[in-house]
Amino acid sequence: MDGGKGPYYCPHCAQLVGLLEFYPALKPHLDVCWLDFPRPRADLVELLGEEHQSCPVLVLGNVPSGPIAGVPMQQANGRWFIEGAEEIATYLAQLYGSGLPH
């Protein structure tokens, strides 16, 4: 719900849900958290700060070993993260061998 209207869904988040259904072998490598639409999104604020509350976002558990082509990585509060469905899908494809967005 948003402003008393809806229900809505996030098409970018749905794209990643689809990716996880196409490639279930990715699931054990991820800790998926579902957040409500209204801001502030306390869990994200705690991890990345108030200015980084967009979804979908992949917060990396480890410091990346180096850049990955086509994947802009950001850092906030000492954590590395990737925003956007295609960027996250590209990262997962290059890390775990799932298909690339096309």
For residues 101 and 89, the answer to whether their CB atoms sit within 8 Å is yes
For residues 63 and 72, the answer to whether their CB atoms sit within 8 Å is no
- Residue 63 has a pLDDT of 83
- Residue 62 has a pLDDT of 85
pTM of the predicted model, to two decimals?
0.93
Q: What is the pLDDT along the chain (102 residues), one digit of tens a residue?
A: 888 999 999 999 999 999 999 999 999 999 999 998 889 999 999 999 999 999 999 999 988 888 888 899 999 999 999 999 999 999 999 999 999 999
State whether residue 48 is helix, strand or coil. Answer: helix
